[in-house]
Structures are given as C-alpha cells and as structure tokens.
Amino acid sequence: MSKPNKRQTAALSKNKKKSVLRAAQVPAPIMMKGSEIGAPRIQVRPSAQQTSRTESKQARIIAMLRAPGGATIETLMRATGWQPHSIRGFLAGVIRKKLALNLESTVADSRRVYRIADPTPSRTKPAA
C-alpha cells in the first residue's frame, strides 16, 4: 500500500473543509411533535420569520423623536445605550436616508434638540 503524496492529502483536506462549511451553512429543520416518520412536518425557524418589533431601539428612538419636544443626543443615548457617534449615524443614515423622515434640529438651552417634523417623508417627487 502506497503512502499518498502531499497533493492528494491537500486536496482531501480542502474538499473536507468545503463539505464541513456547506453543512454548517444549511440550517437544520425543526421537527414538530406528532410528525410521522415517513413525512416529517417542518416548521420555519423563528429567526427566518419577519416580525415588526415595537420595542426595538429603532422604534424607541422614533417615538422619542416624534414627541412634540423632540429629544437630545443625551436622552437618546440613555434610551439605547449607544455612543454619541452611533446616535448621530443612526439619525443621518436611517432616519434621514433610509426612512426619509423629515428630521429637524434646533438649539435650545445650549443643547441640540432633534425631532421629526411631520410623519410624511422629507423627499417627495415633484408633480409631473
């Protein structure tokens, strides 16, 4: 019996790594009680289902910004536990760009107060 050369062992290890990675990427189905052996019932994993979370940090920030008094960076930081640069990035990237909400900022008592002016998006298409 001959000993495999280095190329053969390297090829085997690459193939083995690929098969392990493929197996790790495919989620295992969840078996439900009462399923028959011949025809298993498969339930979709909860992470794959889309749900709207009303208690998410994003929802809390939007609710605070919709209040008539608005919110400061400090109050948003306390509500979410985020750093100031993360709050500012969220306001610019998500509130203004992704959700296209009309975010206003004013200076009151030497602090900047942010609020959503109206529930309609800030970017509207001109009438043709």
- pLDDT score at 55: 83
In the chain, where are the structural domains located? 52-119
DSSP 8-state secondary structure symbol assigned to residue 124: -
Residue found under tokens 């100031």? 84
Per-residue pLDDT tens for 69-122? Answer: 999 999 999 999 999 999 999 999 999 999 999 999 999 889 999 999 875 555
Whether this model's pTM surpasses 0.75: no
CATH of domain 52-119: 1.10.10.10
pLDDT > 60? residue 63: yes
Q: Which amino acid is at 123?
A: R
CB contact at 8 A, 84 and 73: yes
Per-residue pLDDT tens for 12-57? Answer: 566 666 665 565 565 655 555 555 555 555 555 555 454 567 789 9
- pLDDT score at 94: 94
